[in-house]
Amino acid sequence: METATATTWVIDPSHSEVQFKVKHLVISTVTGSFGQYEGQVESHGDDFTDAKVSFSADIDSISTGAEQRDGHLKSAEFFDAEQFPKLTFVSTSMTKTGDDTYNVAGDLTMHGVTKPVTLKAEHGGQMQDFYGQTKAGFELTGTIKRKEFGLTWDGITEAGAIVVSDDVKLVMNIQLTKQA
């Protein structure tokens, strides 16, 4: 049986966004994003089943729209960007769950801790852009527990409310460019 040649796709950062959402004081959600990241997908043909995904984001590029909070997130109390400058994800499997949906399982490394996570991926389709490049779009979502990755800082208000929830939602809208 002949094996299909692998196709490499790379993230187009100008048409992608990598965000996280966390409850603040249990009543509202704060959204943050990573400004610097890269990743690629290796697939066989145009079906992404069994594709291999690798991704990394620079912790120092975190932005929540509040400079003081960003500084706190980058500090040793949270991500410790100086000691652990990157967040990485390497897939272990990509399984088709529907016409345009997949489960992407893999190892997420953050703050020096590696844990298995599964993200849901929705394939938005493929299209050629104005320059003749083939593009593919995906939205990936999932939830992780920050404390499992050693991000254990807790603030408690005078009334006893938790300042930052343990659950962190990940939302990534990714556009990939097929490499020649």
Average pLDDT over residues 46-61: 90
Instruction: Kindly state the percentage of the chain with pLDDT values over 90.
Output: 52
Query: What does the pLDDT read at residue 176?
Result: 95
More confident residue, 155 or 50: 50
Average pLDDT along the chain: 85
Give pLDDT, residue 35. 93
pLDDT (0 to 100) of residue 54: 96
β 28-34/17-24 pair status: antiparallel
Cβ burial of 14 (10 Å; 0-12, 13-18, 19+) is exposed
Q: What six digits make up the tokens of 81?
A: 């960007």
Amino acid 107: pLDDT: 96
| Residue-level pLDDT at 142 | 94
Task: Give the model confidence (pLDDT) of 73-104 as tens digits.
Answer: 888 888 889 999 999 999 999 999 999 999 99
E strands, the chain, where? 6-11, 17-24, 28-34, 37-44, 47-58, 62-63, 86-96, 101-110, 113-128, 134-145, 164-178
Q: Domains, the chain, ranges and CATH? A: 6-178 (2.40.128.110)
pTM of the model: 0.86
Segment among 2-6, 27-31, 116-120, 140-144 with least mean pLDDT: 2-6
Residue from 132, 98, 106 nearest 41 by CA: 106
Which contiguous run of DSSP H or E holds residue 74?
Answer: helix 67-74
For residue 45, give every residue at least 6 positions away whose Cβ sits within 8 Å of its Cβ, in sequence order, or none: 4, 7
In tens, the pLDDT along 15-44 reads 999 988 876 655 567 788 899 999 999 998
